[in-house]
Structure 1
């Protein structure tokens, strides 16, 4: 017995058990790898389901994981098989996709087309007349983790680059240079994004190119991941005496450039320069690497660590990704508009209102 067959059998058994656990229900597998009309077309299984006095045949297609792109490829096949079975058997038939995991986008597409689904996390949808069932459970943790990894580390740099260059067609090599990642990381990330239908593709082989086709969907998921983590940006808070925030920002910039310390203003201090929204703000948020020169700068400015009344937040940034695509405005380096938006989502007070303003007016996503 192959590993693939064992996995499919476990998914099929899990589906049958879930159906049997429903009130007044009985489910029995009637066919496995069932052919149609001798034309080489098969379904993975057929299940006879009795529920609430109704009889339904479930035509089951089994997959490991299902993404929106997979659904579009499956729909015509499932509809064709369902229609053939109805013609042969004269009974109520529901096409159903069963998998270890099914993305939220894939679920929505299946539901819109009246195709049932089941995943091993417990979600179940059967659009049968007189026996309509819908059980909505969270996406299984293993699948959730695979999506979450897109928005962290090197893969997030690929997403960042795609959003910054969203109107451009990019090959793997070009994208890897822009995002400062390996071609392998760029390729793996793009493959996943294609499955989620966040990017479109043209060409084949080495000449294949992609660009963002669903920027709102991609950015919405990034926002969801940030909000789900519930983690504030790690920061150290200081009060630096003397001067208004604009003057202080330029003093910090001059010091960093003189000492060759990379920096980027972010959150409100950057957003106000990109697209003014607030009448005033009370604190500079600045990303810097964890180098000794930063401590010397704070000492030179008589900065005092505080828990209240801070006017400078130091965001120690250990990776290069948050500095990608920074822009110089008014002789100050600002984190990229995408990074500022993401940082504002993890801010306080009216930061999230400002994030939506940046998204609408600057990112236009």
Structure 2
């Protein structure tokens, strides 16, 4: 571990060691103070950097986490330090932000502004006169876990509500009621979304309202997470003596006859809202499990199979997974957002259908 005089921030030694591991790169922490009469305004470290015979000074600002919302302020701070350094020193200088985790959106913004970064996942970006270093590694585990949590369970219900009503302004209580979660959970989700700079707000305190400013960015992030997650387990059945185009109606009648809440999704739902395939041979739906559901399946003479299924059931963990379903032609269909995300998990041409469906039905 390096002995630091400017700062004891643990990220600085990690950054320096990461640089030293690269071919023909030498890095050392400068031992003198930077910030003069304003020590609280200076960067956290000054690193002497030598890359393939090229020398320059790297000013490092250390942060715990960096999200898009943080980038503007951090860039202002580090560029102010760079100007202060250049006014009293000769030679080239480059700015870099070191953080435990930096969100993908924040990394993109930093690259567009020509500001370097390093995170504990091993990602490194350093643009400088005559030097260009770029290493892209998976995000640190802490950030991955944080993002996965945001797109699962009750928190996902808040995201779902915002996307379905993406043009509306919401207070915390109103949004919590719509998403069927607690105000505390809703407030936590909104705080996270503000970090990603996906919300706009108005008002203060209890009367503060928020609106989704970047619905496409939020849906893109959710789609990316869906592709990484394990697909929910399916119970596969064969319902005899039923033509494909009549299967959805027959299944719906059986479920509704037993009072079972359900929502048809995947291709069978997408085809009704934005036709894409010539035919759909399987119905996939979500339903609340229980004796009533089992009785409805028995009414259909549905037989458990491993191949040749024409009905697939996703058992929901809560009624929240059926939020925002829509009544269409006598059937309960999942919300367009849910249909799109489910299609991304499908096989065959479902991913093509997902993009068609998003363009034609969702629109962002």
Match for residue 203 of structure 1? 203
Give the Cα separation in 1 of the matches to 2:175 and 2:33: 42
Match for residue 124 of structure 1? 124
Assess, with a 3 A threshold, how the Cα gap between structure 1 residues 204 and 304 changes in structure 2: closer, same or farther.
same
Match for residue 3 of structure 2? none
Q: Is the 8 A contact 2:237 2:310 kept in 1?
A: yes
Match for residue 212 of structure 2? 212
Q: CA RMSD in A?
A: 1.9
Assess, with a 3 A threshold, how the Cα gap between structure 1 residues 290 and 40 changes in structure 2: closer, same or farther.
closer
Q: Is the 8 A contact 2:96 2:117 kept in 1?
A: yes
Alpha-carbon offset, residue 55 of structure 1: 1.7
Give the Cα separation in 1 of the matches to 2:305 and 2:30: 70
> 1:97-135 CA deviation, whole Å, 9 max, x = no partner?
001111111111111111111111111112111222112
Match for residue 172 of structure 2? 172
Match for residue 340 of structure 1? 339
Assess, with a 3 A threshold, how the Cα gap between structure 1 residues 8 and 320 changes in structure 2: closer, same or farther.
farther
Alpha-carbon offset, residue 93 of structure 1: 0.7
Q: Unaligned regions of 5+ residues in structure 2, if any?
A: 1-6
Match for residue 185 of structure 2? 185
Give the Cα separation in 2 of the matches to 1:33 and 1:174: 51
How many residues were matched structurally? Answer: 359
Q: Which stretches of structure 1, 4 residues or longer, exceed 6 Å deviation after superposition? A: none
Give the Cα separation in 1 of the matches to 2:60 and 2:202: 32
Q: Is the 8 A contact 1:15 1:118 kept in 2?
A: yes
Q: Secondary structure at 1:61's aligned position in 2? A: strand
Give the Cα separation in 1 of the matches to 2:153 and 2:33: 42
Q: Is the 8 A contact 1:31 1:45 kept in 2?
A: no
**TM-score w.r.t. structure 2 length?**
0.93
Alpha-carbon offset, residue 15 of structure 1: 0.9
Assess, with a 3 A threshold, how the Cα gap between structure 1 residues 8 and 218 changes in structure 2: closer, same or farther.
farther
Alpha-carbon offset, residue 33 of structure 1: 6.8
Match for residue 88 of structure 1? 88
Alpha-carbon offset, residue 224 of structure 1: 1.1
Query: Equivalences for 1:1-365 in 2 at 5 Å?
Result: 9-30=9-30, 34-35=34-35, 38=38, 41-229=41-229, 231-365=230-364
Q: Unaligned regions of 5+ residues in structure 1, if any?
A: 1-6
Alpha-carbon offset, residue 90 of structure 1: 2.1
Q: Is the 8 A contact 1:232 1:346 kept in 2?
A: yes
Q: Is the 8 A contact 2:150 2:189 kept in 1?
A: yes
